[in-house]
Each structure stands twice: as C-alpha cells, then as structure tokens.
C-alpha cells in the first residue's frame, strides 16, 4: 500500500521510494525549478513498478498535481517488469506515459519535449480558429479537441471523423486545416460526396476536359487540382459510389490523376480529411465500401461527440448562438425556465438542431433582457422527454423524502447521490475510471478520491 512508501512532494514531483537516491534528488530539484511553468509535466518517480491501486491512491492523496492529465509522467528507475497488461492498467489511472530512467540528459530532453508539445497544443486550442468556432467546456469535448490538435500539429496523417449529423464535422475539418503548419499551405476544398454523380465519372473530383461529356462546354478543374498543396475534406465519404472508390484509392496512393476526357496525368498532394455518419466497417462487410480504401483514409480515426454526450455544453452553446443572432449591446440571456427546457430537450440533429432552435427563439423575441418561456415556438414545446424525466423526477423525490424523514441531512444526501452516480458510471464503463470520469463530466481524480474514500470495489 502507498502508506509504506516515503513520499517527497513538490509542486511538479513525487518520489515513491524507501530512500532518496541520486535520481530522485536530481528530478526533485529539476522539477522544482520548473514549477512556475504551467504546462511542465508532473513527474512521479518510482524505484519499482507500482500496482494500479498504489498509483490511484497516490493521485487521490496528492493535492497539487495538475488537472491536465496529459502531463503526468511515471519514470521507473529500472524496468523491473515488461508486463504489458500491468502497464496498460497504470495508464488507465490517468497518467500519460511510462518511461525508464536512462540518464539525466535523456530524461531532461524527454521532459522538455513533452513540455513544448503540451504548450503548443494549448496555444493552438486558444487560437481564434478553435476558440471562436468550436464551443464547449465539457471534459469530453476538450479531450476530443486536444487529440485533434495533437494529430494536426505533429503529423500529416489523414483523418477520419465519425459522428452523427450536426455534430460539427465540417467545422472540425476547418480547424484541422487552420492548425496545419505546412509552409505555403493552400486552400481547404470541401466536397459533399452525396452530390457526386457516378454517370459523370467523378468530374467533381477529377475535373473534365471540354467536350468530354454532354454539356461539358468548357474545361473544369476538379477537387484534386484545387486541393493541391492544401487540404481536401470529403464529407459523407460513405456515400461515395463504389465505382469511384478504386479511382480515389489510386489518387491517394500514387498522387496522380487524369481529368475526365484527358490522357495526361496530373500530380496532386493534399492533406485528406474524411467524415461520415455511417459505420464504414459495416459497409466494408456488406461490400459497399472498399476495405483498402477504408484503411487508407483512416490513419487517425476520431469519434465526434454528439450533443447528448456533451449536454453540459448546452448553456455555453446557447449563449454563443444568441451572440450570433443579436447585437452585442442587445443580446438577451435565456430565462431560467427556457434554459431548463433547452437542457431537457432531445436533439437528434445535435448542435445544428440546437442552433436552429435558438434562431427560432431569437425570431420570436421581443426586445427584453431575457428570452422567456412563452417565446418557445408551440411546435417545439412537445420535444421534451416529459414522461421519462417526470418518472425520474418522481423517483428522486421519493428517495429524498424518505431520506429526510429518516434523519438524513443535505451533506449526507449529497454524498450518497455522488457515490451512486460514480458507481453507476463505473458499471457503465466496466470499471474504467477515466471513461467514468468523462461520462460524469468530472476530473478522473474525483472518481479516484470517491473510490478510495468510500471503498468502492473496482
């Protein structure tokens, strides 16, 4: 157990060791010198390979480690075990990486590189291209944007965005293009694959020569030519006709293409971004999507969170959309009943549907400081999940009533509800604390603390 270890705690450093050694002393002093750098990694030094429970106990007892879980590094004095399962369990506690001590120079180089990477990603996420367009404060949304930014800044990999309609996949493609740091980067070209007509042999992508088909009265450049030196976003890639998938694959592999009606090969090079709301793996099994193309377009796959997965972002999204529909000095707030309605409502169309609803509220709004419940259009008032919510509300009322009658106070009720929420989240995520925390919208440390304090079995 963690109580058996001597803990030397600094702002950026913790050592788990029976005695202080040269390595721990060096790291302690080095990390202390970096304590005023907000993105510098938090270091845990260990002269053994700890068990997951030991590491969780440490993190739950350590009050000053950074909330940015991407900056916690476990350094092992020597590799005592190569057990992959054990290392994966340690990563599930929220640490970012596990490395073996080599020498002072290499460790410093690693930590400095980590610091620079985290700082660059944070600066990118604070840029206008991200901050003013991709709105949200929930943990699941922030983690998603962090992964997108990291992939964009540090690689040229193709990106596949998988998510429901209305989740903002086109906006994310614009973010990827904006953060792409290629020198002399050209434009982002957007192609909706649902509009590509097979009979025209993919002229939208390849371009065509004059007279190559009926009504081709002049030559035209296609998306491959226009995206050369820039980025190409293929929206709804799952709808691309099967006959064009092989031709697209060749372009991606060879970097060359022919215009429709031409015998001349043209060169092209672009960053590929694809998006779909369909399960491409199922389409591959059904023979509707080429397996080789699927692997070619999905160097990095990302699930775009639905609005249902990030409901905590609804208030900030509502305020953002209101600021778009009103002048700054006349922009109203949503009245409490209106915000409650917006929070309870379901959004099959995700963020796009929420924006459209806020626009309808804005059109009905009479000049006033608040948008009131009467301004909710009648046709939208039936969108609530009234039955489900009412049943849940009644159940909660019964629970609270019984608890109060039995002598429970506010703090006891709060602790019981919190514990129950964490238990349910852990059950849903098969005891994965990181995913349970994301589902709850809290820091993983909160889950770890409750697990330790309440003795919840995981």
Give residue 306's region: left, alpha or beta (phi > 0; psi -120 to 50). beta
- Say how far residue 239 (Cα) sits from the centre of its chain: 25
**Are 415 and 380 within one domain?**
no
Cα separation, 69 vs 443, whole angstroms: 9
Helix (H, G, I), strand (E, B) or coil at 41: coil
Q: Which domain holds residue 228?
A: 139-303
The percent of the chain in helix, strand and coil, each rounded to the nearest 5, is 55, 15, 30
Question: Which of 80, 115, 150 delimits the end of a domain?
Answer: 115
Closest CA to 257 of 209, 198, 213: 209
Cα separation, 150 vs 411, whole angstroms: 41
**Are 145 and 263 within one domain?**
yes
Question: Is residue 53 one of the residues assigned to a domain?
Answer: yes
In contact, 334 and 342? CB cutoff 8 Å? yes
> Which residues lie below 8 Å from residue 396, measured CB to CB, with a gap of 6+?
none
**Are 254 and 334 within one domain?**
no
> Which residues lie below 8 Å from residue 384, measured CB to CB, with a gap of 6+?
341, 344, 345, 346
Question: Is residue 122 one of the residues assigned to a domain?
Answer: no
**Are 183 and 292 within one domain?**
yes
Per-residue pLDDT at 73: 83
Condensed to tens digits (0 to 9), the pLDDT of residues 308-353 reads: 999 999 999 999 999 999 888 888 888 899 999 999 888 999 999 9
Secondary structure letter of residue 384 according to DSSP: B
Question: Is residue 251 one of the residues assigned to a domain?
Answer: yes
> Which residues lie below 8 Å from residue 265, measured CB to CB, with a gap of 6+?
256, 257, 258
Cα separation, 181 vs 52, whole angstroms: 38
DSSP 169-201: HHHHHHHHHHH---TT---EEEEEGGG--GGGT
**Are 73 and 55 within one domain?**
yes
Cα separation, 49 vs 75, whole angstroms: 9
Question: Is residue 354 one of the residues assigned to a domain?
Answer: yes
List 458's β-bridge partners, or say none: none
Per-residue pLDDT at 71: 75
Q: What is the domain-level CATH number for residue 181?
A: 3.40.50.300
Per-residue pLDDT at 296: 94
DSSP 256-319: EEE-BT---EEE---EEEEEESS-HHHHHHTTSS-HHHHHHH-SEEEEPPPGGGGGGGHHHHHH
Question: Is residue 79 one of the residues assigned to a domain?
Answer: yes
> If the chain, 458 residues long, is cut into consecutive pieces of 10 residues, what is the mean pLDDT of each piece?
41 73 83 78 82 76 48 75 76 82 89 89 89 88 92 94 95 95 92 81 77 68 92 95 90 89 88 95 94 94 93 94 88 90 90 94 85 86 54 60 65 74 79 81 78 64
* Degrees to nearest 5, angle at CA 328 with 325 and 334: 60
Cα separation, 409 vs 113, whole angstroms: 50
φ, ψ at 378 (rounded to 5°): -55, -40
**Are 296 and 334 within one domain?**
no
**Are 63 and 89 within one domain?**
yes
Q: How far is CA 319 from CA 37, 160, 191, 338, 362, in A?
A: 33, 30, 31, 12, 12
In contact, 218 and 210? CB cutoff 8 Å? yes
In contact, 304 and 168? CB cutoff 8 Å? yes
**Are 298 and 159 within one domain?**
yes
Question: Is residue 125 one of the residues assigned to a domain?
Answer: no
**Are 98 and 222 within one domain?**
no
**Are 295 and 408 within one domain?**
no
> Which residues lie below 8 Å from residue 176, measured CB to CB, with a gap of 6+?
148, 152, 159, 231, 271, 273
Cα separation, 141 vs 405, whole angstroms: 40
**Are 261 and 282 within one domain?**
yes
- pTM for the model stands at 0.75
Cα separation, 282 vs 286, whole angstroms: 6
Cα separation, 264 vs 258, whole angstroms: 6
Secondary structure letter of residue 455 according to DSSP: T
Cα separation, 234 vs 189, whole angstroms: 9
Question: Is residue 335 one of the residues assigned to a domain?
Answer: yes
φ, ψ at 332 (rounded to 5°): -85, 165
Q: Could you give the number of structural domains in the chain? A: 4
Q: What is the domain-level CATH number for residue 327?
A: 1.10.8.60
Question: Which of 384, 416, 444 delimits the end of a domain?
Answer: 384
**Are 275 and 205 within one domain?**
yes
List 272's β-bridge partners, or say none: 232
Cα separation, 206 vs 203, whole angstroms: 5
**Total residue length of the chain:** 458
Q: How many CA atoms lie within 13 A of 183 on its CB side?
A: 0
Question: Is residue 411 one of the residues assigned to a domain?
Answer: yes
Q: How many CA atoms lie within 13 A of 369 on its CB side?
A: 1
Question: Which of 242, 268, 303 delimits the end of a domain?
Answer: 303
Per-residue pLDDT at 356: 95
Cα separation, 292 vs 308, whole angstroms: 33
């Amino acid at each position: 157990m963690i109580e058996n270890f001597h803990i030397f705690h600094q702002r950026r450093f913790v050592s788990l060791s029976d005695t202080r050694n040269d390595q721990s002393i060096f790291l302690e002093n080095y990390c202390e010198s970096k304590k005023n750098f907000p993105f510098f990694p938090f270091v845990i030094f260990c002269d053994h390979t700890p068990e997951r429970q030991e590491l969780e106990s440490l993190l739950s007892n350590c009050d000053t480690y950074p909330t940015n879980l991407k900056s916690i590094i476990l350094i092992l004095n020597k590799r005592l075990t190569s057990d992959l399962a054990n290392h994966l369990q340690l990563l599930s506690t929220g640490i970012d990486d596990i490395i073996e001590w080599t020498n002072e120079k290499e460790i410093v180089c690693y930590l400095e590189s980590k610091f620079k990477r985290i700082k660059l990603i944070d600066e990118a996420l604070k840029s206008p291209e991200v901050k003013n367009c991709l709105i949200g404060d929930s943990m699941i949304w922030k983690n998603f944007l962090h992964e997108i930014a990291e992939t964009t800044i540090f690689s040229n990999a193709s990106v596949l965005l998988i998510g429901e309609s209305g989740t903002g996949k086109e906006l994310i493609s614009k973010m990827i293009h904006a953060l792409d740091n290629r020198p002399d980067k050209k434009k982002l070209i957007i192609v909706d694959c649902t509009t590509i007509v097979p009979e025209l042999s993919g002229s939208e992508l390849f371009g065509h020569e004059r007279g190559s088909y009926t009504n081709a009265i002049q030559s035209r450049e296609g998306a491959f030519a226009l995206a050369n030196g820039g980025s190409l976003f293929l929206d709804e890639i799952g709808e691309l006709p099967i006959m064009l998938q092989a031709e697209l694959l060749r372009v991606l592999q060879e970097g060359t293409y022919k215009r429709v009606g031409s015998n001349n090969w043209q060169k092209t090079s672009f960053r590929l971004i694809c998006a779909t709301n369909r399960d491409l793996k199922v389409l591959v099994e059904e023979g509707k999507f080429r397996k080789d193309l699927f692997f070619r377009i999905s160097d990095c796959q990302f699930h775009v969170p639905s609005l249902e997965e990030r409901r905590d972002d609804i208030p900030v999204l509502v305020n953002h959309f209101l600021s778009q529909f009103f002048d700054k000095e006349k922009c109203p707030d949503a009245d409490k009943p209106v915000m409650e309605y917006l929070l309870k409502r379901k959004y099959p169309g995700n963020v796009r549907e929420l924006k459209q609803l806020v626009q309808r509220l804005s059109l009905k709004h009479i000049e006033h400081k608040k948008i009131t419940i009467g301004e909710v259009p009648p046709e939208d008032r039936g969108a609530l999940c009234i039955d489900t919510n009412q049943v849940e509300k009644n159940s909660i009322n019964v629970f609270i009533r019984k608890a109060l009658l039995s002598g429970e106070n506010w703090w006891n009720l709060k602790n019981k509800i919190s514990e129950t929420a964490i238990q349910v989240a852990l059950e849903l995520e098969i005891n994965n604390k990181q995913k349970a925390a994301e589902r709850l919208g809290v820091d993983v440390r909160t889950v770890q603390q409750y697990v330790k304090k309440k003795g919840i079995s995981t």
